[in-house]
Amino acid sequence: MDKKLKVGIIGATGMVGQRFVSLLHDHPWFDVVAVAASARSAGKPYAEAVEGRWTQSIAVPERIGALTVADAADVGRVSSQVDFVFCAVDLDKEATKKLEEDYARAETPVVSNNSAHRWTPDVPMVIPEINPEHLGIIPAQRRRLGTRAGFIAVKPNCSIQSYVPALHPLLEFAPQQVVACTYQAISGAGRTFESWPEMIDNVIPFIKGEEEKSEKEPLKVWGKIKDGVIANAVGPEITSQCIRVPVSDGHLAAVFVSFATKPAKETILELWTEFEAKPQQLGLPSAPKQFLKYLEDDSRPQTKLDRDYENGMGVTIGRLREDSIYDYKFVCLSHNTLRGAAGGGVLTAELLRAEGYLTAK
């Protein structure tokens, strides 16, 4: 890319916003020129606004740390500085929907980490390796919004991004029923062990709203564009349990699946190993070279050992074996704040730029 696009981060002081900062401070295609948050942080240098609550492994990047935090509600001011924004705000659903649409109507594309627009029928919910064709709904969304350049694209819930990539190469065998039990890190709740000591030596068998997202969102991801909206896939039938576990980062899933046509185990392993998609073909900067990796060791994947595979953007899989009730069962792992949150958002933005949907104003 000849010229970097100017980027804003909305919700920049939160955990996901901080992850966006850490990923984008030296990005080859994008240049962070604006950070925005709530009115409480507005007017402060970014480094001051996150002092005492910076959660990333690197120091606050000096140049971004010097930026003055804008009020996220000042859509006109932020939009005038940027070509597009990443959004990771901590607001209720209706307030988030309005804010993101306000930016889009101001001709500022929004790449959202939030859930508010995941079920808006003309908003693409993208895992770049799985449904890049859903970006084709953007012209219909622009017509609805009355915009020339503005639109919203979202990433799915972090809980599905370990097991949906593993199932995707197997769709030709028509998965019928899927059980997915996810064991989810505390960073998925925006927390650390310092801020959530109750999670030490503890498991909580409930995450509000998570199971519905885990069961329904894959059907939109696997859906088709029809008559200006994304029509959900009719299957497979998915049931899930989502459990919070005392892990800092990384969502692990135990998956059981039955197929209309049962594939051989060797076929599954071959499809996982050879899977390549548009981000790899385009050589996008954040794309993992190998998206899916099967680990032969029965004790893998392990959250601590494997969550950073391919800089946290790949998915590791293990323990594939036949099941006594379903056809197969296996375990898979993804990094929830990289692949599942900010990293997935950055990769989506790279795909949007490569496909011509993000351009300089």
Active site residues: 158, 251
Q: What is the dihedral of CA 51, 55, 56, 61, to 10 degrees?
A: -10
Residues ≥6 apart with Cβ < 8 Å to 226: none
State the DSSP string of 286-307: T--SSSEEEE-STT---HHHHT
Closest CA relative to residue 256, chosen from 158, 176, 160, 336:
176
Half-sphere exposure of 54 toward its Cβ, with a 13 Å CA cutoff?
16
Closest CA relative to residue 78, chosen from 103, 97, 101:
103
Q: How far is CA 220 from the centre of its chain?
A: 14
- List the structure tokens of 286: 């954040």
Closest CA relative to residue 176, chosen from 101, 112, 115, 258:
258
